[in-house]
Amino acid sequence: MKTMSKLITGDKRIWFVVFVLFMYSFFLAYSAGTEHTLSDNGIQIKMLIMKNLRIFLGGILVMYAAHLINIKKLMRLSFLRFALQIMIVLLGLVLVQDNGYAAKRWLVLFGFSFQPSTLAIPIMMFYISTYCAKYYDKPLEFYESIRALWSYIVIITVLIGLQNLSTAILFVMLSFILLFIGGYPFKHYMRIVSIFAVLMGGFLFVLMTAPDILPTDRAVTWKNRIETYLNPESASKDATHQISLSKLAVARGGILGKGPGNSLVKNKISQGTSDFAYAILVEEFGILLGGILILFAYLYLGYLIFVNCFQAKTIYKQLLIVGLGIPIVLQAILNMGVATGLLPVTGQPLPFISDGGTGTLVNCVSIGLVIGMSRDRMKTKKAKITKQELSKIKFV
């Protein structure tokens, strides 16, 4: 036991929360992941248990490796801007590649498929954290920040938004949150907020009045989802079919649920292992063990992230802990909001629980880095960042 304690360092409470969430993914795979198909041999049952086991083991190994990384070495990375440029190229390839998916979010390279948008958020959080730490308590020219910072945010937001509006909104929202926490000059901040507000208002006006003129085949879908959310009573049955089934699953769960594998909705709802995973788990485990416990796990994870943030030794680590950890919590809240009908359908998965490979591994890397940075909290008390530490940051 002591040997294990020495091997696994950092905030062990975060390890425990992630492990609990992974356990729910196995229950989900056992239930909603079972596909019944007819063939010459009768009913074949395909389980996702083995896939989940591989993702779980791979995720734990990735987390362990990430939590051993010395974050000070990452402060000196000179390829952050180059990484963003590569990300722009990858997102552009998604738009021009015919990958066979209805929504072009996946990129297939060398036989391996992944979503570049899942990498965009943590890379941008690294970039913003470094940028804010470099110019902490230093004068910053507005137009210089446009060139070095906002140009990347705008380009990546547009490229993601052409096919995945909810992820683009999440990307912008997280960027604004981190910049506000990082001390980006308030007068510059408000100018950018005003510009984004005008652009977003114009986009929504065009989306709701003339979606066909937008340069994406997803515009009509976005309009229908918004209209269905705002006026569900006037929407067609096809438009409300998925969310009605999700609400039914939550209602059927009751207090204690129907038991693992006993969901009826899982055989009728699509994306039961991703977009509507929360609804299936509530149906089978009930409000207590499925609804409240999962919600509490994510909220507790958010609490631990902020605790470690406030006790970090440098502004760079404070920003990076928030930038890498909070996206996971916000993504979970969006998923649960959709499953319960509080938010329009967004297509956001439930971190560590929903079926998926790339997204889960990226989340494991992010949370592993957060755990690694929490080691300072265990050893020393919080100290203010020094000028010597700031001068060591290599921003490109």
For 123-158, give one letter per residue: b (16+ CB within 10 A) or e. Answer: bbbbbbbbbbbbbbeeebeeeebeebbbebbbbbbe
In a domain, 132, yes or no: yes
Question: What pLDDT was estimated at residue 370?
Answer: 93
Question: What pLDDT was estimated at residue 7?
Answer: 67
Beta-carbon contacts of residue 135 (< 8 Å; ≥ 6 apart): none
> What are the backbone angles phi and psi of residue 236, rounded to the nearest 5°?
-70, 160
User: Distance from CA of residue 71 to its chain's centroid?
Assistant: 21
In a domain, 233, yes or no: yes
Question: What pLDDT was estimated at residue 78?
Answer: 57
Residue 32 contacts residue 263 (beta carbons within 8 Å): yes
- Give the range of the structural domain holding residue 66, as residue numbers without chain letter: 2-391
The pLDDT tens digits of the residues spanning 273-288 come to 777 889 889 998 999 9
Question: What is the pTM (predicted TM-score) of this model?
Answer: 0.86
**Biggest alpha carbon–alpha carbon distance for the chain:** 72
Question: What pLDDT was estimated at residue 134?
Answer: 83
User: For the chain, what is the total number of helices (H) and then of strands (E)?
Assistant: 18, 4
Of 344, 117, 115, the C-alpha closest to 231 is 344
In a domain, 348, yes or no: yes
In a domain, 396, yes or no: no
DSSP state string for 232-257: GGGS-HHHHHHHHHHHHHHHHHTTT-
Question: What pLDDT was estimated at residue 393?
Answer: 45
Of 18, 10, 15, the C-alpha closest to 297 is 18
Of 21, 30, 33, the C-alpha closest to 298 is 21
In a domain, 374, yes or no: yes
Question: What pLDDT was estimated at residue 174?
Answer: 93
Question: What pLDDT was estimated at residue 45?
Answer: 41
Per-residue pLDDT tens, the chain, 396 aa: give them.
455 556 677 788 999 999 999 988 877 776 655 544 434 333 334 556 677 777 888 888 999 998 888 777 666 555 678 888 888 888 888 877 655 444 567 777 666 677 888 889 999 999 999 888 888 877 888 888 898 899 999 999 999 988 888 899 999 999 999 999 988 999 999 999 999 999 999 999 999 998 888 888 888 888 888 888 888 777 777 778 888 888 888 888 888 888 887 778 877 887 667 778 898 899 989 999 889 999 999 999 999 999 998 888 788 889 999 999 999 999 999 999 988 888 888 878 899 988 777 888 999 999 999 998 887 665 544 444 444 444 444 433
Written as six digits, the tokens of 136 are 């902490």
Of 95, 107, 117, 164, the C-alpha closest to 346 is 164
Residue 302 contacts residue 239 (beta carbons within 8 Å): no
User: Distance from CA of residue 116 to its chain's centroid?
Assistant: 12
Provide the pairing of β-strand 107-109 with 42-46: unpaired
SS3 state of residue 44? strand
Sign for the CA dihedral angle at 303, 15, 370, 105 comes to negative
Question: What pLDDT was estimated at residue 153?
Answer: 94
In a domain, 293, yes or no: yes
Beta-carbon contacts of residue 350 (< 8 Å; ≥ 6 apart): 274, 277, 278, 331, 332, 335, 336
Total domains in the chain come to: 1
User: Rounded to whole angstroms, how far apart are CA atoms 231 and 209?
Assistant: 16
